[in-house]
A and B are shown apart, each in its own frame.
Chain A
């Protein structure tokens, strides 16, 4: 396999000392032989680091024998992958129709005010990143939210505050 020397050198992208590229190499090594390895690789990286840092793109491109543009194109296509670090907890508020029918918009407004950030933003203490989600499959009992892997149904403003407070307490 012929690879341009330049694409061999991850340092060509501004390197980010906070990212452990060795860990990323191990992840890629583990999944790269799967057919259609890209999504499993990206999921594993995001699960490990909390996001997919730009500095890993050349590594993935090299190992999966793709161009950097292709790798970047995939990462940016999917809502799930984020390119910046997030807060400690991810708060997802469902904004789809069934939840809209029972007050999802009001819950979203409350969440923004309570966390002091907009969707895709992070609270100033770095604890919570607020994300919209389009259906969590709990549509009979909305409005719904998920914090990390914990689901909450019929979320009132009070319930939202309680759940967020509990997460803060668990640090």
Chain B
């Protein structure tokens, strides 16, 4: 077993898109054919709102959006996830993402994706990148149907750091030797908790934090 892991945020770090697109895709692809048209319209109208909400508070946004999944069966969600990966995530992958992941693996790291998205939406991506594990939000299912609620704790912001710490304890990894990769200052905690943080395509705030703490900065293309 590796003594260290590399924890990768996904949105903006490994893929150009962000979680809003994923939700929009789901919203448009649930239910009947007749329903799709209506939902597409309502989703299209909602996307700017999603964007604003996401920018203001990811946690609120996530909770708001999870209701879209209510009532959908698990196998349907998984099927949509596969399509969504091909249609949305794969084209949005940075060209150099795979190189970075491969390099982390060659250096003896276990590859772990850390994301606020739901686990089933990210599974195809994890498989494609060759990730060993994933820390993601989990949808609650009752009788094979999604309830629209997420099993706490919700993975976002500071909680990512707690999840990483718990993961390292569980897996017997040395937190000091672990690498963390993220693009956003909202993941400051996640980067601060590992011994080897790196800012990837950082926003302005994270760029200045990275400069201040002498963290490497990667501009993934």
Same assembly:
no
